[in-house]
A = this chain, B = another copy of it.
């Protein structure tokens, strides 16, 4: 209901280039360029300036984008309230999520919605957390299930989003079956301080999480190898290249000669899984129902765990 061109401007404000905006919104670069030019013409404001080979927002542009946050939230609020007041059904619902954990929550959600609301077309997009937020801004999706840094508070209070914690997914240690500690039930990170570690490349979400886990207990791990997929990491561990951290929700096929150990001690690293929606939309009946379903799934997962580490 808010003009598409303003939405596009907001996406541009997030990613900085026309090309990225186009990719994110699903338009072509030409279309984005034209939209922004048209927006400036209609509003009679100069929002963009040439900057090197790209463009950047002017002060007016930044001002407008910043102020539009409350406008969007207000609209989402109104829409949600109207839907609730009128007991109406919406026709399209976009979900975003990343990683196996999110998938384990999103899949039952999509299935449940399909049964309770047959004529609602549910669309699921797999995307990493950062992109999920972009997709929310771009209004391509309405709800995202993402893994957040447990310590990271930067996105926590973003005026554009509202987030609800679903569950904390603890990290386990995986070591080769022939490792001296393989017969143990639990270990501490200190005990593995001198091991060669396997993690993802610096800059990734998981890497930050990895580092945070060790700094919490005052250990500096020696990073020996890098892997992107869980499967790869597990294979590395199985080959005896080192040890790694694996989220509880990531499945570990028994075939590969790797064992999984719980972490004890004061630092219990975990990744936090949260649901994020555009601010204001949280009162929508559809969002409410979805959050309920997600919470049920989350609780079922929690219930299946030993009571000492929830």
Q: Interface SS of chain A: helix, strand, loop or mixed?
A: helix
Chain B residues closer than 8 Å to A60, beta-carbon distance: 82, 85-86, 88
Query: How far is it, in angstroms, between the C-alpha of A68 and the C-alpha of B81 when the chains are bound?
Result: 11
In the complex, which residues 68-90 of chain A have their Cβ closer than 8 Å to any Cβ of chain B? Answer: 68, 70-71, 74-75, 78-79, 81-83, 85-86, 88-90
For chain A, which range describes its interface: under 10, 10 to 19, 20 to 34, or 35 or more residues? 20 to 34
- Closest B-chain residue to A73, C-beta based? B74
A45:B88 contact, CB within 8 angstroms: yes
A78:B82 contact, CB within 8 angstroms: no
B58:A81 contact, CB within 8 angstroms: no
Binary flags per residue of A134-162, CB closer than 8 Å to B gives 1, else 0: 00000000000000000000000000000
Query: Does any Cβ of B come within 8 Å of A67's Cβ?
Result: yes
Residue in A41, A71, A85, A86 with the greatest tally of chain B CB atoms within 10 Å:
A86
A59:B85 contact, CB within 8 angstroms: yes
| Choice from B43, B44, B78 contacting A1 with Cβ under 8 Å | B43
Query: Does any Cβ of B come within 8 Å of A46's Cβ?
Result: yes
Query: Does any Cβ of B come within 8 Å of A308's Cβ?
Result: no
Query: Does any Cβ of B come within 8 Å of A91's Cβ?
Result: yes
A-B contact pairs, 11 of them (CB 8 A): A1-B43, A44-B89, A44-B91, A45-B82, A45-B88, A59-B85, A60-B82, A63-B86, A64-B78, A71-B74, A71-B75
Query: How far is it, in angstroms, between the C-alpha of A225 and the C-alpha of B68 when the chains are bound?
Result: 56
Chain B residues closer than 8 Å to A46, beta-carbon distance: 86, 88
- Closest B-chain residue to A91, C-beta based? B44
| Choice from B58, B74, B91 contacting A74 with Cβ under 8 Å | B74
Query: How far is it, in angstroms, between the C-alpha of A41 and the C-alpha of B90 when the chains are bound?
Result: 9
Chain B residues closer than 8 Å to A91, beta-carbon distance: 41, 44
| Choice from B64, B82, B89 contacting A63 with Cβ under 8 Å | B82
Chain B residues closer than 8 Å to A63, beta-carbon distance: 81-82, 85-86
Residue in A3, A46, A59, A78 with the greatest tally of chain B CB atoms within 10 Å:
A78
Chain B residues closer than 8 Å to A2, beta-carbon distance: 1-3
Chain B residues closer than 8 Å to A43, beta-carbon distance: 1, 79, 82, 88, 90
Binary flags per residue of A74-115, CB closer than 8 Å to B gives 1, else 0: 110011011101101111000000000000000000000000
Query: How far is it, in angstroms, between the C-alpha of A264 and the C-alpha of B59 when the chains are bound?
Result: 57
Query: Does any Cβ of B come within 8 Å of A223's Cβ?
Result: no
Query: Does any Cβ of B come within 8 Å of A252's Cβ?
Result: no
Given contacts A2-B3, A60-B88, A67-B82, 6 further A-B contacts (CB under 8 A): A2-B2, A44-B89, A46-B86, A58-B86, A59-B85, A71-B71
